[in-house]
């Protein structure tokens, strides 16, 4: 429920849809685990105005395929959360925001990869700036946070690993604790048994968001997509399910940041050199909060 000021007074909407110029339009929340090249697949997902994941895919490659799948040409507002460095100005090493993320989340095994202009993906005309230009051409604006429960076309950069560290904290009898980042990405030295078990934890966390704030629901089709026996998949056949969960989680982050606005978000970095939006831990005495002061 939110209020919008119109010419004839304030109108209170009882759902997250809104209407303008007599045409019904609906806000949606889009998550994109964006591959750094169009030869690789990206993971994408869409959450509707009722908080339901209505579509998810890990079989899109091009900018057009991504935009078509999530319905960006259908009008209406959206918050888009992208897991990829959207603003890269540094010629080498890492962005200031990545240095900050490493300082905060390295102890949780949730640090970032460095992004710089040595990588063609971030150079002028490269995959990432080209995709950003496509979204900006559709009216989306990069912001440091989403406006709380308002109509908008907002684009934000997110990072799933530290976001999970924050969103799934715990408390024992003595102290506030955070989980470590999940090891669901195949890497040298990790067995497939470990990767599969970590993916299953990731899936369980997404399912647990049904009881989150805001709550997340999965459509029957999406439940079926992620309800597979992951132990049957390795290599490139596994990666589609890795990307699928990342796309869904990024969409939830878009929904979360719209629902809470700046009340429960941490912005690291800035729009000049790159920024990442993270959930703000709601538990008292958070050690991560201390590192932001």
CA pair distance 213, 259, nearest whole angstrom? 9
Number of H helices, E strands in the chain: 8, 15
| Residue pair 48/54 in contact by the 8 Å Cβ criterion | yes
CA pair distance 73, 288, nearest whole angstrom? 39
pLDDT category of residue 173 using cuts at 50, 70 and 90? low
Beta bridge partners of residue 277, listed in sequence order: 267
CA pair distance 109, 112, nearest whole angstrom? 9
Domain count, the chain: 1
Q: What is the pLDDT of residues 22-63, one digit of tens each?
A: 333 579 999 999 999 989 999 999 999 999 999 999 999 999
What's the per-residue H, E or C state across 218-268?
Answer: ECHHHHHHHCCCHHHCCHHHHHHHHHHHHHHHHHHHHHHHHHHHHHHEEEE
pLDDT category of residue 20 using cuts at 50, 70 and 90? very low
CA pair distance 98, 179, nearest whole angstrom? 20
CA pair distance 14, 253, nearest whole angstrom? 22
Q: Which domain holds residue 90?
A: 2-292
pLDDT at position 172: 66
Share of the chain above pLDDT 90, in %: 78
Q: Region 112-140: what's the mean pLDDT? A: 96
Residue positions counted in the chain: 293
Share of the chain above pLDDT 70, in %: 89
Q: What is the pLDDT of residues 178-236, one digit of tens each?
A: 888 999 999 999 999 999 999 999 999 999 999 999 999 999 999 999 999 999 999 99
Three-class DSSP category at 92: coil
Query: In 108-213, at which residue ranges do the beta strands (DSSP E only) sit?
Result: 141-142, 153-157, 169-171, 176-178
pLDDT at position 8: 40
């Amino acid at each position: 429920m939110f209020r919008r000021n119109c010419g004839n007074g304030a109108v209170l909407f009882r759902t997250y849809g809104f209407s303008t110029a007599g045409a019904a339009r609906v806000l949606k929340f889009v998550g994109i685990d964006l591959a750094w090249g169009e030869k690789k697949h990206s993971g994408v997902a869409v959450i509707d105005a009722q908080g339901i994941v209505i579509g998810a895919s890990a079989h899109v490659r091009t900018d057009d395929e991504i935009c078509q799948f999530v319905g960006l040409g259908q009008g209406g507002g959206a918050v888009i959360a992208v897991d990829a460095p959207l603003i890269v100005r540094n010629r080498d090493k890492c962005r200031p925001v990545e240095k900050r993320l490493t300082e905060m989340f390295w102890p949780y095994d949730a640090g970032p990869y460095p992004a710089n202009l040595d990588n063609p993906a971030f150079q002028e005309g490269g995959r990432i700036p080209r995709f950003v230009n496509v979204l900006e051409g559709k009216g989306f604006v990069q912001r440091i946070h989403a406006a709380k429960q308002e109509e908008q076309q907002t684009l934000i950069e997110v990072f799933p690993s530290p976001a999970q560290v924050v969103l799934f904290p715990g408390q024992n009898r003595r102290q506030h604790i955070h989980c470590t980042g999940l090891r669901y990405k195949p890497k040298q030295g990790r067995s497939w048994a470990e990767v599969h078990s970590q993916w299953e934890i990731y899936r369980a966390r997404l399912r647990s968001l049904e009881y989150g704030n805001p709550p997340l629901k999965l459509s029957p089709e999406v439940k079926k997509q992620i309800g597979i026996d992951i132990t049957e998949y390795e290599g490139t056949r596994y990666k589609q399910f890795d990307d699928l969960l990342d796309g869904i989680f990024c969409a939830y982050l878009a929904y979360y940041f719209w629902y809470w606005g700046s009340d429960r978000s941490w912005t690291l970095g800035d729009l000049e050199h790159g920024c990442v939006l993270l959930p703000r831990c709601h538990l008292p005495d958070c050690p991560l909060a201390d590192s932001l002061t």
